[in-house]
Amino acid sequence: MNHASFKQFWHIDPAVAFLNHGSFGACPIPVLDYQQSLRQKLEQQPLQFLAREIEDRLDEARSRLAQFLSASPANLVFVPNATTGINAVLRSLQFQPGDAILTTNLEYNACRNALDFVAERSGIEIIVADIPYMVSEPKAIVNTIFQAVTPNTKLVLLDHVVSQTGCVMPIWPITQLLNEQGIDTLIDGAHAPGMLPLNLSSLGATYYTGNCHKWMCSPKGAAFLYVKPDRQDQIHPTTISHGRNDPRLSRSRFHLEFDWTGTWDPSAYLSVPKAIEFMGDLLPDGWPGLMQHNHKQVLAARQQLATILDVPMPCPDSMVGSMVTLPLPTARLGNASHNELNLRLWNNFKIEVPIMPCPNVSDYLVRISSQIYNQPEDFDRLAQALSDLLQ
């Protein structure tokens, strides 16, 4: 199939250069159709679906997701989004005054807010490692993280793929070194599943949460939380429901609590296997081929835009997945805010791409995403639009 024809599988407006897959993802039409069929089955017999079948259905979906993530199903639960996963862990753990949690200046704002909330209630210290925007090699980030560790550090909260910069963090070497020191890790993998190959069993993270609705292209409202077996009795959902005192011993307390947090529409969770199947069938090489295609396409777009903008590459190709950022020469853009620039690109060029500020960067950043429905002409349109704005 010609790559230009892949756009037919999405509802995305063909008149729009949609270069912001990273924010909310986009679900293919066949997967949405499958989700709707599940909703119809639920409404035909709600008791049968939600009271008698739901656990088996969740187990089946969880097993397929676990296979995709190279993890044990016993260590996975579904959550609506990665922010919920972060909150579940942070608000479950018991900290003492004087304990410290280490994060970075690039941590996603929603997760930083959750961290601040916990810190205010428990009296813990938040240590912030300062990660520069321009990074020459992964080792520089590893060193920065470890220089910020103190004897009181109990947990390290890190992005796997930084939302603000698109940089892929060197999670594996960080978790290995922290594990040697007895320090737990909570990884916000919001962008990683479907963008990067994942092996959660060997990654070494104590806790890992990721979205399925972004780069896996599931329906919105599907994500997961991975917890090591020896920590599962400490972690609870943000909403406590019937699973808390369910007397059954045939299911783990971890699954009992997270699998039922109140009446809800489980169709997004149950559609994850369909998304894995559909996206994996688009190219002959399956998911590895899809990830490589998106990676190569975004690198080519980054080179094209960097040449036009006359700006340096902020990180090596090895630290890029399917999403990159570049600094905009803000001095040539007048006094326009980043929100105004976003609106100009949308109103004048029908380009959907985020422009945002970033810590330690005087210029605004433009962040571009590459998904298989994108074509070179989408990036050409952005290049021309930015050239026009900078004149």
DSSP 8-state code for residue 235: -
For residue 11, the tally of other CB atoms under 10 A from its CB is 10
The pLDDT of residue 360 = 76
Coil/strand/helix, residue 197: coil
The pLDDT of residue 252 = 95
Contact criterion met (CB below 8 Å) for 311 and 327? yes
Q: What is the pLDDT along the chain (391 residues), one digit of tens a residue?
A: 566 689 999 999 999 999 999 999 999 999 999 999 999 999 999 999 999 999 999 999 999 999 999 999 999 999 999 999 999 999 999 999 999 999 999 999 999 999 999 999 999 999 999 999 999 999 999 999 999 999 999 999 999 999 999 999 999 999 999 999 999 999 999 999 999 999 999 999 999 999 999 999 999 999 999 999 999 999 999 999 998 888 888 899 999 999 999 999 999 999 999 999 999 999 999 999 999 999 999 999 999 999 999 999 999 999 999 999 999 987 777 778 889 999 999 999 999 999 998 887 888 999 999 999 999 999 999 999 999 888 7
The pLDDT of residue 390 = 84
- For tokens 């397929």, the residue is 64
The pLDDT of residue 110 = 95
pTM of the model: 0.96
For residue 166, the tally of other CB atoms under 10 A from its CB is 25
Domains of the chain as residue ranges with CATH: 3-19+284-390 (3.90.1150.10), 31-278 (3.40.640.10)
Beta bridge pairs of residue 23 = none
The pLDDT of residue 2 = 60
Coil/strand/helix, residue 85: helix
Comparing CA positions, the residue from 155, 138, 223, 153 lying closest to residue 189 is: 223
The pLDDT of residue 243 = 86
Backbone angles phi, psi at 333, to 5 degrees: -105, 10
